[in-house]
Amino acid sequence: MNPVLLKEDIYWVGAVDWDMRYFHGPVYSTHRGTTYNSFLIIDQKITLVDTVFAPFAGEMLERIRKIIDPSRIDYIVINHVETDHTGALPELMKLVPQAKIFCTARGKAGLLKHYYGEWDYEVVQTGMKLPLGRRTLSFIEAPMLHWPDSMFTYIPEEELLMPNDAFGQHLASSFRFDDEVDNELVMAEAARYYANILYPLSKMVLKKLDEVSALNIPISMIAPSHGVIWRDNPGQIIEAYRRWASGEWLPKAVVVYETMWGSTAAMARAVVEGLGAEKVAATLVKASIRDLNNIFTELLEARLLVVGSPTVNRSYLSVLSPFLDELTGLKPVNRLGAAFGSYGWSKGAVKNIEAKLEAAGLTLAGEGLEQLWVPDAGELESCYEWGRALARTVKE
């Protein structure tokens, strides 16, 4: 349990959670675990920036003890109240009851309502500076990135930004820095993280990026609260956030479907062929056997989402409900949608899927496609042509 040096006298003292498989309850799958990053600054005022999830309090304290006695900590900065970053705070406060806690006004309210601690709080706002000795902490409030209480902490003398959840990845690793792990893997996990947590907050992400850019502060290292620290090329993740938040897209499609006796599956395959014929790369996803979190990640690039289901009880198959419900919450930016499916004695699936797509902010790319019972060769040809027509809309 050793600390890791970031900059002179600044250490990572967090924890690696190799076992975390779901985050935010059973909503967001985290196949690669995660880390809880906490940073210790040794200066005239010894300062800890963020803590870790409660079960890892001992691990954090052990790393701190390799550097100093934790009771010597003067200041604790809480960038964000969520329990994965503050769960260890009560344990820590038993050792340092005199320490002053710096957080936003909403952060203080949140901490009081989580832990009910009689602690010494100081509320900070954007632009406030906290001298530590050789270094200064500068605070930037970041409401809704991703909670109302969130803020970033910046150390100008080190060009180091500690933005808590922003720019993070759920990625457990033996390594702490971006240049020590595979870049494609880190970016894929960063994208997955953005799509499943920050997507609905994209307008605020863009605003914050502009605000930070206008501050004209040099940033040579970004140390988020999850995953690896960006020291090799921090600009890479900033640019990716700008791209994702602004809704840039590629001529790609995701076709998500579920089937009862194979008719909707046959339609889905024909639609994918039609998309491909017009050079729109499509991923075909059977909802019941795939990780739906990956679909949201694909939507960071894909312009079009096509959803298919047979009609059952006048609507779509319920296995699609978690995906469609989550979609309406995540609200992908600047995306097109379309619906299709087979039916028997009554329709309903397409209409209800279209309503969900529109509720999620997608623009319908064309009329939905419904076919009776089992599609024949001519009807499958219609699916193919429908896919081609959608592809042409994608590229318009």
Which pairing describes strands 151-155 and 160-164: parallel, antiparallel, or unpaired? antiparallel
Number of neighbours of residue 85 by Cβ within 10 angstroms: 24
- Residue 85 in the binding site for ligand FEO (CB under 6 A): yes
List for the chain the helix, strand, coil content (%; round to 5): 40, 25, 35
User: Rounded to an integer, what distance in angstroms lies between the CA atom of residue 219 and that of residue 291?
Assistant: 35
The least CB distance from residue 84 to ligand FEO, in Å, is 4
Catalytic pick from 36, 80, 178, 199?
80
* CB nearer to ligand FEO: pick between 108 and 146: 146
Which range, of 38-46, 77-85, 180-188, 242-250, touches ligand FEO by CB under 6 A? 77-85
Q: 391: Cβ–Cβ under 8 A, 6 or more apart, which residues?
A: 251, 253, 274, 275, 277, 278, 279, 280
* CB nearer to ligand FEO: pick between 106 and 252: 106
Among 50, 82, 141, 370, binds ligand FEO (CB under 6 A): 82
Catalytic pick from 17, 149, 158, 165?
165
User: Rounded to an integer, what distance in angstroms lies between the CA atom of residue 82 and that of residue 128?
Assistant: 23
Which pairing describes strands 302-308 and 363-364: parallel, antiparallel, or unpaired? unpaired
- Residue 226 in the binding site for ligand FEO (CB under 6 A): yes
- Residue 192 in the binding site for ligand FEO (CB under 6 A): no
The least CB distance from residue 147 to ligand FEO, in Å, is 6
- Residue 225 in the binding site for ligand FEO (CB under 6 A): yes
- Residue 32 in the binding site for ligand FEO (CB under 6 A): no
Q: 42: Cβ–Cβ under 8 A, 6 or more apart, which residues?
A: 9, 10, 11, 67, 68
Among 141, 149, 158, 165, binds ligand FEO (CB under 6 A): 165
User: Rounded to an integer, what distance in angstroms lies between the CA atom of residue 236 and that of residue 183?
Assistant: 10
Among 7, 32, 146, 335, binds ligand FEO (CB under 6 A): 146
Which range, of 82-90, 202-210, 239-247, 312-320, touches ligand FEO by CB under 6 A? 82-90
- Residue 80 in the binding site for ligand FEO (CB under 6 A): yes
User: Rounded to an integer, what distance in angstroms lies between the CA atom of residue 155 and that of residue 217?
Assistant: 10
Residue 146 is a catalytic residue: yes
Residue 121 is a catalytic residue: no
What is the distance, to the nearest Å, from the Cα of residue 41 to the centroid of all Cα atoms in its chain? Answer: 27
* CB nearer to ligand FEO: pick between 199 and 257: 199
Quote the tokens at residue 364: 């319908």
Residue 165 is a catalytic residue: yes
* CB nearer to ligand FEO: pick between 16 and 336: 16
What values do phi and psi take at 20, rounded to 5? -60, 120
Number of neighbours of residue 272 by Cβ within 10 angstroms: 22
Quote the tokens at residue 291: 């990780």
| Positions that interact with ligand FEO (CB under 6 A) | 80, 82, 84-85, 146-147, 165, 225-226
Residues with active-site annotation: 24, 80, 82, 84, 146, 165, 193, 226
